[in-house]
Amino acid sequence: MTVAVLPEADEEEVQINESDLRIDVYRSSGAGGQHVNTTDSAVRITHIPTGVVVACQDEKSQHKNKAKALRILSARILEKQAEDKKQASDAIKKQMIGSGDRSERVRTYNFPQGRCTDHRIGFTSHNLSAIMEGDLDELIGALTEEDRVRKISETQTH
């Protein structure tokens, strides 16, 4: 069995700084008659930090196209942030639980033999009933000693 503990997600609004945007205006194509051929009504907005690009030429007015493009851009950035957050969360979760493979096991409780083995540090106790009743001093002592030895070896290699 594997267990992962993750923080609750908070809803956040998208904050877009005007300095993070590159706004290009150009002549629209398609329906709209002579007006679209003579005015720069189409808008393309690039959010430089994320690389998200939105182009809008649905309206005859450049201002309406810009407002619509900004709404679409906000939605896409929010979606991208949510996806990035999900990927980060998935990576943390995968790191916590690994693949769940037998080779990644941490501890084995063998009730028929009355044995508890911590595979990370090679600790084995044949007093499983005491461990199950909360007498963890021997196990915690072995884990603490292993952690102390690991920290000492890390400081010597750095």
Which parts of the chain sit beneath pLDDT 70? 1-13, 30-37, 98-103
Residue 47 CB: number of other CB atoms within 10 A? 20
The per-residue pLDDT for 96 is 73
- Asked if residue 55 lies in contact with residue 43, where contact means CB atoms within 8 angstroms, the answer is yes
For domain 18-97, give the CATH number. Answer: 3.30.160.20
Please enumerate, as own/partner, the contacts of 8-12 that have beta carbons within 8 Å and a separation of 24 or more: 9/85, 9/89, 12/81
The per-residue pLDDT for 12 is 57
Please provide the average confidence, as pLDDT, over all residues in the chain: 85
Q: How far apart are the first and last CA of the chain?
A: 36
The per-residue pLDDT for 59 is 85
pLDDT digits (tens, 9 = 90+) for 80-123: 888 999 999 888 888 777 666 666 788 999 999 999 999 989 99
Segment holding 108, helix H or strand E: strand 107-110
Domain with CATH 3.30.160.20 in the chain: 18-97
The per-residue pLDDT for 9 is 45
The per-residue pLDDT for 14 is 73
The per-residue pLDDT for 157 is 80
What does the angle CA 149 – CA 153 – CA 156 come to, to the nearest 5 degrees?
140
The per-residue pLDDT for 144 is 96
The per-residue pLDDT for 53 is 94
